[in-house]
A = this chain, B = another copy of it.
Amino acid sequence: MNKASRIFCPALITPKNAVVKPTEQLSRSQKLLTELGLVKSGSNGTYQIMPMAQRSVDKLIDLVQRNMQLAGGQKITLPILTPTGLWKRTGRLEGDISEFYMVRDRSGKQFLMSPTHEEAVTAMLATNSPISYRQLPLRLYQIGPKFRDELKTRFGLMRAKEFLMKDMYSFDVSEETARETYAIVSVAYNRLFQQLEVPFVKVNAATGMMGGSVSHEYHYVSPVGEDTLLQCSSCGFAGNSEVLDSQADSCPSCKSRDLKDVRGVEVAHTFLLGDKYSKPLGATFLNTCGKPQTLLMGCFGIGITRVIAAALEVLSTDQELHWPMLVAPYDVCVIGPKQGSREQPAAEVIENELLLNVGELCGHQELLHDDRKELTIGKRLLEAKRLGHPLIIVVGAKAVQQDAPKLEVHLSRGEKLELDLSEALKLVAEHSHYKKSLLKGSFQPDKDESKSQSVGHQL
A residues at B contact (CB < 8 Å)? 5-8, 10, 40, 42-44, 46-51, 54-55, 57-58, 72, 74-83, 98, 101-103, 105-107, 109, 111, 113, 120, 124, 127-128, 131, 134-135, 138, 140, 144-145, 147, 149, 151, 161-162, 164
Contact = CB atoms under 8 A, between A and B. Distances in A.
A103 B105 contact: no
A79 B42 contact: yes
Given A48-B124, A105-B161, A161-B105, A5 B77 contact: no
Given A8-B135, A43-B109, A105-B101, A58 B81 contact: no
B103 A103 contact: yes
19 contacts: A40-B127, A42-B78, A42-B81, A43-B81, A43-B82, A44-B105, A44-B107, A46-B81, A48-B120, A50-B76, A55-B75, A77-B164, A79-B162, A80-B147, A81-B161, A102-B103, A103-B103, A113-B113, A145-B145
B124 A40 contact: yes
Contacts of A134: 5
Q: How many copies does the complex hold?
A: 2
7 smallest beta-carbon distances between A and B, as pairs? A46-B79, A51-B74, A49-B77, A10-B128, A103-B103, A43-B83, A42-B79
A194 to B, nearest CB: 24
A23 to B, nearest CB: 14
A243 B100 CA distance: 43
Nearest to A98: B106
Interface SS of chain A: mixed
Contacts of A149: 105-106
A58 to B, nearest CB: 7
Given A8-B76, A57-B77, A98-B106, 14 more contacts: A7-B74, A10-B128, A42-B120, A43-B82, A43-B83, A46-B81, A48-B120, A48-B124, A50-B76, A54-B75, A101-B103, A101-B105, A103-B103, A105-B161
Contacts of A147: 80-81
A139 B77 CA distance: 27
A167 to B, nearest CB: 14
Nearest to A41: B127
Contacts of A128: 10
A51 B75 contact: yes
Contact of A51 (B49, B51, B76, B124): B76
Contacts of A6: 72, 74
Nearest to A123: B42
Given A105-B149, A106-B151, A120-B42, A10 B78 contact: no
Contacts of A124: 40, 42, 48
